[in-house]
Amino acid sequence: KKEVSMLDQYQSFENKLAYLQKDHIRQVKSALVFATDAHTGQLRKSGLPYITHPIAVAEILATLKMDVKCIMAGILHDVLEDTPFKYSDIEKRFDKEIADLVNGVTKIKKIPTKSRKEHQAESFRKMLMAICKDIRVLIIKLADRLHNMRTLDVLEGRRKARIASETLDIYAPLAKRLGINFIAIELEQLGFANMYPLRYRVLNNAVESLQGERRSLIASLTERIEAELNKNNVSYEYVKGRKKHVYSIFRKMRDNGLPFAEICDVFAIRVCVTD
């Protein structure tokens, strides 16, 4: 089953590289071969081969349509920390730019935990921005954190809560600052679910229940908006209802001291108008 899973992951990853030139895809594959060899025998806590993590990170970067060197650095991002290979090995096998990206991600990981506790989250984010000369280092780190959050279930409670808290305080806001909203939202959702699992379940169930009650109302409003747009010859891509993200609702309740029943904007209708 693990072999089949690996094959599926390789295929999924390769499909996401379709936007790259063929020569660049070959370069990515050479990095994958190198990383696979470097991580031979290493396993994640889930029991899967360690290489599944760098591939998943690179797949997230490919979803963002990052350049070939960023993708390659994503595949290689744990080589300096977790294998015998050195900066000079990556520079010689690939180039200095890729080696610098990998080294930058490694430096972030080596910032002492003590520093993270002593500094306010905003100060730590500023520190990250300052030490990363290339913005791609932060993007690789965010992809790394996102995949780790997706697989956080294998960790025990206290460590899981610490990583979730760090994600909510540092990495989700950092993703927002960089304008990578889909990563920011997923980091918030996963961080909230792992930091406060009971609150997450209760609030998520409340939103789902309310959505069921208001489905017909949202559908009716959507139809009316579409009819008005068509009547006035306004070109649009879509009109659709959406629910607010659970962590966003929780934060509003917490910051304003409100019960769920008094949150008025749980649902909204988004209109995408074309030029």
- The type of residue at 166 is E
Give me the helix-helix angle, 135-150 and 181-195, nearest 10°: 40
Question: What's the sign of the alpha-carbon dihedral 128, 182, 245, 162?
Answer: negative
Catalytic choice (82, 89, 134, 169): 82
- The type of residue at 265 is D
DSSP codes joined into one string, 165-213: HHIIIIIHHHHHHTT-HHHHHHHHHHHHHHHSHHHHHHHHHHHHHHHHH
C-beta separation of 229 from 239 below 8 A = yes
Query: Can 82 be counted among the known catalytic residues?
Result: yes
Catalytic choice (37, 67, 81, 118): 81
Query: Can 237 be counted among the known catalytic residues?
Result: no
The whole-angstrom separation of Cα 81 and Cα 51 is 14
Active site residues: 81-82
